[in-house]
Structure 1
């Protein structure tokens, strides 16, 4: 398949995916569309009984090398109306995955092993990777690659990075239960707002190494009713924690738990909370990164191979290596002029980079198969 033929094949695929966005765990039509396309090419994709998403294997034997793409869109206000919207580039990621599939199909007779292409739901909720791990989808893999379009502040259009070092994130939600009282008799109550203020003050005093990037803060607080002369006895809150690596995130988590316990004891209030989402920080494997770097050089030239990118954002992809430490992973950073920025309702990017991204990914998968063959 020539470069022009690949570009022409991928254009209507991207347009369909872009124009039919679906939010996390609702990627029903997207799953059906991709499965149908794969069947038309003579392959039998594997879907799931109780969730969206799918995967397909190409080549002979048990797959040892894989590529994962995300599928879901964001729910956000666009031109005054809330709707599903592909403002994080997942439409482009799926297009590259399908381009990779088409290229691998041509190479199938000569592949030294099998490749698994995974279409993962619910990346934006940081739940899809965990669900696929439970399904055993990555159990046989040694290498797993991913990709993400990058904003101009990180990568120039037409350049490509062999690794993305995303940070870790945890989202907590919780409730504070104190005692309601009359505003004239505060000593008879336990003010949930004052408890929340103490919680905020406590987490601000957590000590993290100055060499590490980290933050934890309260992002939502609801307390009290319509009467201003009642001391509120209950409140609900949300916390957002960020760290550049998993060890620092663990330190933040332990610190928050200690602060919550201390404030609860001090005020005689109950503080209950749960982790709604946990996004692991990148654990990039050096061999996987070198394979991706060589793939970039082979396809786009050494002059377009950019350094690895360190970014404060989170990405559910890294949960695979977090849960399966033996898995060797990295993500291709696709410099495609994302503007104004990721998650902006009017986000756009240079779609002409998608076929090149598919070629780089395909080359990386072939190189990884060769690496596996040499090590066996």
Structure 2
């Protein structure tokens, strides 16, 4: 396996560069999908694109078990050097490259005839809706084991270190609308200033008290009110709120508080405040068997000295919807330490690209080990 990975490493560098330089935001990853499809069109594998969205599934082998790897393919929309644009600041370009490298390794090396290996290139992880869409399409109905991956920031995992699981927290993204009436700037008594309502909302959100022993946070991430006229007091506004919690129970508490606060403000000011849940990502469900296999893959590929315990992070990932919606699935995510700085979602995020071949080896090993163990258990 190592010689094959060494041989394809220059190709992986080219693939990463292309993906990094051509980011596409959630549900718009059409060129990304086409690029990945073109990479494998001349190989003996089954390629399935999705009818109504970007994303694709590539499969080799046959029969059971069905062992899958998922890579997210979308970029973020964020301000970079003064301009809003698509940007791969969450490492999905690396995730795709690693999954592509694993599939190429199996194809070039000759994979064992002991099951099906499925590679899922999933859209819209950043929206929190991509995994649910693929669940609804039946993509994982027959999957027995599922592996994912994520680059980790330097404060969570040192360079060239790997953990066999990531305990993600829950995340919820809320869009809100404040509806009132505009008024003349000289007559503030004739309306309720939507900006003042937003300021009150921020203070109330910051004062939510929940068990401090369980990590959680509430913060407003967008607010828009008013137009070009400086002498109009805006009565309407839109806003966004980001909720995080390490457990699903605490997330439920946060949601109850947010709804209670907005209802109170709406009643007090005699206005309307409407909330819409954009995504509600549950906290992780980690399978011990899958985690154990990943541990062995790390030790066999890069050595026991690079193995770290499962990490806990306040970030979320819609990967965990696969196991929540399909409880039969045994899944875990590989945590990849890669000198990632200054942090995930930073517009100028960087990491050490030398980690990609090592991650390819670990995940490919995990796929093969899983199929071999399952095959032995059946005999």
Q: How does 1:191-206 map to 2 (within 5 A)?
A: 191-206=193-208
Deviations 1:202-249 (A, max 9, x none): 434433122211122333333345667765432322212111122211
Distance 1:63 1:278 in 2: 31
Name 1:15's counterpart in structure 2. 17
Name 1:212's counterpart in structure 2. 214
Of 101, 116, 119 in structure 2, the residue corresponding to residue 117 of structure 1 is 119
Distance 1:298 1:162 in 2: 13
Of 136, 155, 164 in structure 2, the residue corresponding to residue 162 of structure 1 is 164
Deviations 1:54-102 (A, max 9, x none): 0111211255221000112233444555443322222211111111112
Deviations 1:291-346 (A, max 9, x none): 11111011111111112222222223222223333322211111222233323333
Name 1:271's counterpart in structure 2. 273
Task: Rate the CA distance shift 1:294–1:286 in 2: closer, same or farther, 3 A.
Answer: same
SS of equivalent residue, structure 2 residue 171: strand
Name 1:147's counterpart in structure 2. 149
Distance 2:199 2:31 in 1: 45
Could you state the TM-score of these two structures normalised by the residue count of structure 1?
0.90
Identify the range of structure 1 (267-276 vs 289-298) with the bigger mean alpha-carbon deviation: 267-276
Distance 1:232 1:15 in 2: 46
Q: How does 1:79-94 map to 2 (within 5 A)?
A: 79-94=81-96
Distance 2:141 2:324 in 1: 13
Q: CA shift at 1:182, angstroms? A: 5.9
Q: CA shift at 1:48, angstroms? A: 1.1
Q: CA shift at 1:359, angstroms? A: 1.1
Distance 1:211 1:80 in 2: 38
SS of equivalent residue, structure 1 residue 253: helix
Q: CA shift at 1:187, angstroms? A: 5.9
Distance 2:376 2:230 in 1: 73
Distance 2:222 2:347 in 1: 23
Deviations 1:273-305 (A, max 9, x none): 101233332222222111111110111111111
Q: CA RMSD in A?
A: 2.6
SS of equivalent residue, structure 2 residue 319: helix
Query: Do 1:64 and 1:372's aligned partners in 2 also have CA atoms closer than 8 Å?
Result: no
Distance 2:19 2:308 in 1: 28
Name 2:56's counterpart in structure 1. 54
1:253 matched to 2:255? The reply is yes
Name 2:223's counterpart in structure 1. 221
Task: Rate the CA distance shift 1:61–1:196 in 2: closer, same or farther, 3 A.
Answer: same
Distance 2:113 2:164 in 1: 23
Could you state the TM-score of these two structures normalised by the residue count of structure 2?
0.89
Task: Rate the CA distance shift 1:230–1:336 in 2: closer, same or farther, 3 A.
Answer: closer
Query: Do 2:46 and 2:60's aligned partners in 1 also have CA atoms closer than 8 Å?
Result: no
Distance 1:286 1:8 in 2: 35
Name 2:302's counterpart in structure 1. 300
Name 1:336's counterpart in structure 2. 338
Gapped regions of structure 1 (runs ≥ 5): none
Name 1:33's counterpart in structure 2. 35
Distance 1:28 1:60 in 2: 28
Distance 2:111 2:367 in 1: 15
Gapped regions of structure 2 (runs ≥ 5): none
Task: Rate the CA distance shift 1:370–1:314 in 2: closer, same or farther, 3 A.
Answer: same
How many residues of Structure 1 are paired with residues of Structure 2 in the alignment? 376
Task: Rate the CA distance shift 1:28–1:182 in 2: closer, same or farther, 3 A.
Answer: closer
Task: Rate the CA distance shift 1:340–1:224 in 2: closer, same or farther, 3 A.
Answer: closer
Distance 1:289 1:274 in 2: 36
Distance 1:28 1:226 in 2: 36
Name 1:280's counterpart in structure 2. 282
Distance 1:227 1:10 in 2: 52
